[in-house]
Amino acid sequence: MIERSLKAQTEGGLSVGHFIVEFATPGIGHLMRNAGCDFVLFDMEHSGFSMETVKSAVRYMEAARLPMIVRAPSKSTDHIARVMDMGAEGIMVPMVNDADEARAIVNAVKYAPDGQRGVALGIAHDNYKGGAVADKFAAANGRSTIFAQIETAAGAENADAIAAVPGIDCLWVGHFDLSASLGIPGDFGHKLFTDAIARTIAAARKHGKVVGRLVPTVASAVELHAQGFDMICYSGDVWMFSEALTKAVADIREGVGAPAGTR
């Protein structure tokens, strides 16, 4: 398999990844890498994963040579900066509403002159190595990749301005939150929702950025890629495990003629 950095993946072409919200185990990166994943989206917003867990998971993914996006639990500078200091290649920030918020995120991620990230060198993000400060700054700024989540009505309305911010690499649609913010929770066929998606994709294309989202099925992934989504995150660990195990247990019971629920 050809390896592509996360930054290279945001330059276009299909990338397929997987969502980790439950199983932060040492081997999970290798399992995804061997399955053909291009990236992993590691969730802090809804998972309950601690910073210490994320720091370990970064090393699991590095060992598997799998680019890692960490979704921060908030837009807070301390959440963003700590994730970057741990060595995550990408940071996803929830509920980005406008260009000012996007610029604040870039400011927290990038070292001078591109931002005002607090300086900590010779730690996890640069593999504990020495080197010239200017070179360290340039390397970190070139590697760090920023995913702005479009998941509010304001974010969709301001998608063009958000995409125009230098340093924002991807507009990532949070489809459930976006539908809820639009007042149509879960109605992804509603014109309000489809118009918001169209604006987001158009904004990304105009400014040379890619678009991504989580998908529940293979069919939806194919359909959404045709619409203009470049980065496809297929399902999540907990849902795949539950679905596969439920089906297998039911199939075994059916195969041996045992009623459901028997042991």
Catalytic residues: 46
Q: Are 166 and 141 in contact (CB under 8 A)?
A: no
Residue length of the chain: 263
Question: Between the CA atoms of 50, 148, 36 and 245, what dihedral angle is there, to the nearest 10 degrees?
Answer: 50
Give the single-character DSSP code of 259: P
**Tokens 């000012």 — which residue?**
100
According to DSSP H, which parts of the chain are helical?
6-9, 28-35, 51-63, 77-85, 99-109, 133-143, 153-157, 159-163, 175-181, 191-206, 218-227, 237-256
Long-range contacts of 47-51 (CB under 8 A, 24+ apart): 47/20, 47/21, 47/22, 49/24, 51/82, 51/83, 51/86
How far apart are the C-alpha atoms of 126 and 258, rounded to whole Å? 56
